[in-house]
Structure 1
Amino acid sequence: MGGFFEAVLSFPTVLLTPLLIVVIGYWLVVVVGGADPEGDGGGEGGFLGFLGLGGVPVSVVLSLLIVFAWFATLAGAELLGALPAALVLVGAVVAAWVVTRVAVLLLKRFLPAGAEPSRADFVGLTCVVRTGKVTRTFGQAEVHAPDGSSAIVQVRQAGNDDLRAGTVAVLYDVDTDGDFFWIIPADIANPS
């Protein structure tokens, strides 16, 4: 075991050992619920996107880079001891980038694309009333999403408008507790 600690504390591995300790500490905090690994984004742009490492949360990318680079410096220093340590460090960083890039490409296949759909996405869209009438306690309407799909949703109205089957209305609010939408006639919502 003494040889392992000697290798970890020798150049070039010693440069990445503190970063590896930070990564391990971070993921321990994530495991106990003290941090959100997805809270740091994961967009395609920025510097990581330029390096081909975008699309995955930054904490995951940096963790993979550090772990792979640390392991590559450890293995490179032991296996290629005749090479200069600086060359081993550069080679380890390049190898870590390649392996991390492959890992990111694989991870992106399993991550959801875009935000989770929500009922609030329907607010502002027009709908067609499908029940005989809409009251404060009853009604259904058909709404078409921007992607072309349609849904029958529960609707209510606050006023005394004559909202009957076939009437075009606008969904202006969602009541998440009651699981329904508030509607008003489209001619009121969009006066000409």
Structure 2
Amino acid sequence: MGEFFAAALGFPVVVLSILLVVVVAYWLLVAFGAADADWVELDIGGVPATVGLSLLVVLSWFACLVGAVLLTPSTLLGAGVLAGSLVVGLVLTRLVMAPLKRLFPSDPPASRLDFVGRPCVIRTGRVTQTFGQAEVTAADGSSALVQVRQAGQDPLRAGSEALIFDYDADGEFFWVAPIWAGPTHTLGDH
């Protein structure tokens, strides 16, 4: 056990041992709720930066430890072992992160609530409290035909525009209200 600590605390491994202590302390704080797991907003290959950097440090530390034990490097060779272990750690991190991407989806799944607040075009002859359909365009440019209802008696007819303002999950329809352009005035009108 003494040889392990001598190698882990000797040059070049000690450089990565310090980073390893920081990584372990960080994940312990996350485990106890004292830190947020997403403190870095970057992602590395589809995986949050905190996970990617942690993997890089752990894998580089292990590669450096193996290199230091096998080669018992001098100062110059130790710098080479450190650089080589970082390259090995980077390559292994990229390999490990590929299957981890599936655990971190990049976009939340589409939801019907995404349509709330969007304009729509009425496609049925009328919209009542119990009947109606409209076409709405999603943020990605795709369109959908949805069931709509209105609380009032406004004349919502085919081709008129309305605003989706709520979703009724029980009835699986959207509440809409007409979009009124209002009166138009020119400079000559008083």
Give the TM-score band, short-chain normalised.
0.7 to 0.9
Is the 8 Å Cα contact of residues 169 and 183 (structure 1) preserved in structure 2? no
TM-score of the two chains, using structure 1 as the length reference: 0.72
**In the alignment, structure 1 residue 59 sits paired with structure 2 residue 50:** yes
Task: Note the C-alpha offset of 1:13.
Answer: 1.0
Tell me, which stretches of 5 or more residues in structure 1 are unaligned?
Answer: 44-52
1:112 maps onto 2:105 in alignment = yes
- What is the aligned residue count? 178
> Counterpart of 2:66?
75
Q: Deviation of residue 139 (structure 1)? A: 5.3
> Contact between 2:122 and 2:160, CA under 8 Å: does it hold in 1?
yes
Q: Secondary structure at the match of 2:47?
A: coil
The letter of the residue matching 1:124 is R
Residue 120 of structure 2 is matched in structure 1 by 126
TM-score, normalization by structure 2:
0.72
Give 1:40-189 correspondences, 5 Å limit: 40-43=40-43, 53-82=44-73, 84-122=77-115, 123-128=117-122, 133-135=127-129, 141-146=133-138, 148=142, 150=144, 152-153=146-147, 155-157=149-151, 159-163=152-156, 166=158, 168-174=160-166, 181-186=174-179, 188=180
Identity over aligned pairs, percent: 38
Matched, 1:31 2:31: yes
SS at match of 1:21: helix
CA drift of 1:27 comes to 1.4
> Structure 2: which 5+ runs fail to align?
185-190
In structure 2, the CA distance between the partners of 1:56 and 1:35, relative to structure 1 (3 Å rule), is same
Partner SS state of residue 162, structure 2: strand
Change (3 A) 1:41 1:131: farther
CA contact (8 A) 2:166 2:176 kept: no
Cα pair 1:170 1:189 within 8 Å, conserved: no
Verify the 8 A CA contact 1:156 1:180 in the aligned structure 2: no
Report how far residue 113 of structure 1 moved: 2.9
